[in-house]
Amino acid sequence: MMQEIIKNKLAVLEPVFIGVVNESDQHNVPAGSESHFKVVIASSHFEGQRLLARHRIIYQLLEQEMQQPIHALALHTYTPDEWQKQQDSVPDSPECRGGSRFS
């Protein structure tokens, strides 16, 4: 399952929180797809890193998966302090603005 692969690969960042959500069912893809994910991660490895650098770290770790099964990846990256200030709440994803959904 792609969610577990993502979690396992990001484990090297020693996250204090990690959430990986398969949001494929909210998009114009066949049922059972694993192509659209939201990752919420809080790690001390992000200390002193700007948002773009944090995202680059994740894209490097998931380079192989981004070449094929993953079509879209929403990233929410925090330091442990930022995550605590976020009050441990996972941001909602916007509704898909793509084509019509599969039934």
Q: What is the pTM of this model?
A: 0.80
**Domain range annotation of the chain:** 2-85
What's the mean pLDDT in 8-29?
84
Q: Would you state the pLDDT for residue 47?
A: 97
Instruction: Quick: pLDDT tens for 28-87.
Output: 555 556 667 889 999 999 999 999 999 999 999 999 888 887 777 889 999 999 999 987
Architecture of domain 2-85: 2-Layer Sandwich (3.30)
Tell me which long-range contacts 16-24 makes (C-beta under 8 A, separation of at least 24). 16/42, 16/43, 16/44, 16/80, 16/83, 17/41, 17/42, 17/78, 17/83, 17/88, 18/42, 19/90, 21/90, 21/93, 23/74, 23/93
